[in-house]
Amino acid sequence: MADDEPGENHSGIWLSRYEFFSSGRDDTFTGLHHVVLTQHGNRISGHSLPDASSNPGSPLTFDLTVDRNVVTGTWGEQTAPDGYYQGARYHGALQLLIDPTGRRMAGKWVGFGKEFDVNTGLWDLRLLDKSTTDDTLTRYSSPPGE
């Protein structure tokens, strides 16, 4: 199975970058998180690291499946209680293509909006570090810059 071949494990620290349109602010924004992905077989689970978001207090989670170079699954984000979205929970689907180097995943998300609409946007993951040791997790537990 291709998912079990050496070099095909996507565990590590990744920079997650997604774009979303805010109807209330009539503008497009970018969400950045340092996330840790852990792969077992063809399943990938992930979450943002503590204090590692451009939107403080808005943790992100992933539940994904890998099929060759295609990653499909779900995402969720609990927005900060004191932020613009006042603790609202958003979730949806995600589909990404893994580039041939295995260091980038790019695709789109889909999810619901506040006004009974379905939104989509770009989502990009870039590998920062294959290590998931405690020291590495601590090093990336800070808000990412662009």
Each residue of 57-81: pLDDT tens digit? 899 999 999 999 999 999 999 988 8
Contact 92, 110 (CB under 8 A): yes
**Looking at residues 103-128, what average pLDDT do you find?**
93
Assigned domain for 145 exists: no
Q: Which domain holds residue 71?
A: 2-139
Contact 144, 35 (CB under 8 A): no
Each residue of 17-57: pLDDT tens digit? 999 988 888 899 999 999 999 999 999 999 999 999 988 88
**Looking at residues 102-120, what average pLDDT do you find?**
92
Strands 43-53 and 70-78: unpaired
Tokens describing residue 140: 């990336």
What residues are paired with 97 via a beta bridge? Answer: 70, 106
The predicted pLDDT at position 120 comes to 95
Give the CA-trace dihedral at 32, 72, 119, 114, to 10 degrees.
Answer: -80
Assigned domain for 8 exists: yes
**Looking at residues 87-114, what average pLDDT do you find?**
94
Contact 144, 15 (CB under 8 A): yes
Q: What is the CATH number of the domain that holds 44?
A: 2.40.160.90
The predicted pLDDT at position 146 comes to 55
Domain count, the chain: 1
Assigned domain for 100 exists: yes
The predicted pLDDT at position 5 comes to 46
* Better-predicted residue by pLDDT, 26 or 98: 98
The predicted pLDDT at position 80 comes to 87
The predicted pLDDT at position 24 comes to 82
Assigned domain for 83 exists: yes
Assigned domain for 146 exists: no
